């Protein structure tokens, strides 16, 4: 989201079957820039992945760790300031999001509808035996799911920005 509140979705998917870690780390650094908050849901998890990348790629480590320090954890905000009975005592994104943005229902997507399905689809797509037609179908489904997943974080942020 730019300072004038325009949204721009950026994504990284690599179906080459090779280790995409380096290219992903570079794309992440480029996408996050050098300043401003980076909103996440569960910073503990995200910081762990950033640390792993920083350890693997020392030449990118400073820029990666700076991203980690800029993270704003929407899970912390939810746990401190938000509750809806439909959450049933849980602050997982799977419980919070439907209360905040019921229109963002991944269950309405064709194919991939959750993170586990996305991981399974990605693994299938990078298999050498995956037919091009199937790979193209999976890529389209993954892109739709990832775009909705990103929009979900934006909607949670918009709900919480007053806290």
Beta-bridged to residue 39, according to DSSP, are 72
pTM of the predicted model as reported, rounded to 2 decimal places: 0.85
Could you give the CA distance from residue 116 to residue 162 in angstroms, rounded to a whole number? 32
Task: Using the predicted structure, report yes or no on whether residue 163 has a pLDDT greater than 70.
Answer: no
Residue whose token pair is 């401190």? 80
Q: Tell me: the pLDDT tens digits for 63-95?
A: 999 999 999 999 999 999 999 999 999 998 888
Q: Tell me: the pLDDT tens digits for 91-116?
A: 988 889 889 998 988 778 889 998 89
The CA distances from residue 114 to 10, 26, 50, 136, 146, in Å, are 19, 26, 22, 19, 10
Weakest-pLDDT range from 33-37, 127-131, 159-163: 159-163
Q: Tell me: the pLDDT tens digits for 36-67?
A: 999 999 999 999 999 999 999 999 999 999 99
List the domain boundaries for the chain. 21-160
Could you give the CA distance from residue 42 to residue 97 in angstroms, rounded to a whole number? 14
């Amino acid at each position: 989201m730019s300072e004038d509140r325009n949204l721009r979705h950026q994504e990284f998917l690599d179906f080459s079957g090779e280790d995409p870690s380096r290219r992903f780390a570079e794309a992440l650094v480029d996408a996050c820039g050098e300043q401003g908050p980076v909103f996440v849901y569960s910073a503990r998890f995200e910081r762990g992945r950033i640390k792993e990348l920083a350890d693997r790629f020392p030449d990118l480590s400073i820029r990666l760790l700076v991203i980690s320090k800029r993270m704003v954890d929407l899970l912390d905000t939810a746990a401190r300031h938000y509750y809806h009975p439909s959450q049933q005592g849980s602050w997982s994104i799977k419980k919070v999001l439907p209360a905040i943005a019921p229109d963002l229902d991944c269950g309405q997507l064709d194919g991939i509808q959750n993170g586990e399905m996305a991981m399974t689809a990605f693994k299938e797509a990078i298999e050498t035996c995956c037919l091009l037609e199937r790979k193209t179908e999976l890529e389209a489904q993954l892109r739709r799911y990832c775009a909705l997943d990103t929009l979900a974080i934006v909607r949670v942020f918009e709900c919480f920005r007053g806290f």
